Amino acid sequence: MARVEASTVIHAPIDVVYSRAKDVESFPEFMPDLISVRILERSGPNTVSEWVGSVEGRRIRWVEEDEWDDAQRICRFRQREGDFDRYEGIWTFEEVPGGTKTAISVDFELDIPIIGALLSTLLRAKMRENVERMLQALKGELEGRKEGSEDEFHRKSGG
């Protein structure tokens, strides 16, 4: 099993960042390696979604269960089915001076018997790159619309 972790500070209010992160269906609009995300089930804040991505030209698909904890502003996720042997992790959101620290930790296994240790190392590097790209894409999406998002946040919160 491998673990990758990444974090960034997004210069936007925590409620705006957390809300946008929960809108996983929109991720393909600003994440080039993500082909599609489709919500299959919704139960309160929790979702089951089908993800299709591309890594080095290879199509990867999985069905993911997301458990959103709105009080703690975290999301625990895990694969229900798909190409990974194991895929699970946690996404956290923390208010910090000037914005929101957003961090992701993913534990995964993708056992392809023929590839061995060399490609396993490559896969870990690609997974880390994808997690970092996801955070940077979210950061770019929110900071690019920062003023509108903050205005919308202040209107909704009465601030």
Looking up residue 132, the CATH number of its domain turns out to be: 3.30.530.20
pTM (2 decimals)?
A: 0.79
The verdict on residue 58 lying in a domain is no
- Tens of pLDDT, residues 72-91: 999 999 999 998 888 999 99
The verdict on residue 85 lying in a domain is yes
The verdict on residue 119 lying in a domain is yes
3-state secondary structure of 155: helix
- Containing domain of residue 130, as a range? 2-31+68-157
The verdict on residue 47 lying in a domain is no
Q: How high is the pLDDT of residue 35?
A: 92
The verdict on residue 148 lying in a domain is yes
Mean pLDDT of the chain: 84
Comparing 46-50, 136-140, 145-149, the range with the smallest average pLDDT is: 145-149
In the chain, the number of structural domains is 1
Q: How high is the pLDDT of residue 57?
A: 77
CA separation (Å) from 69 to 32, 73, 78, 90? 28, 5, 15, 11
> How many CB atoms sit inside 10 A of residue 130's CB?
20
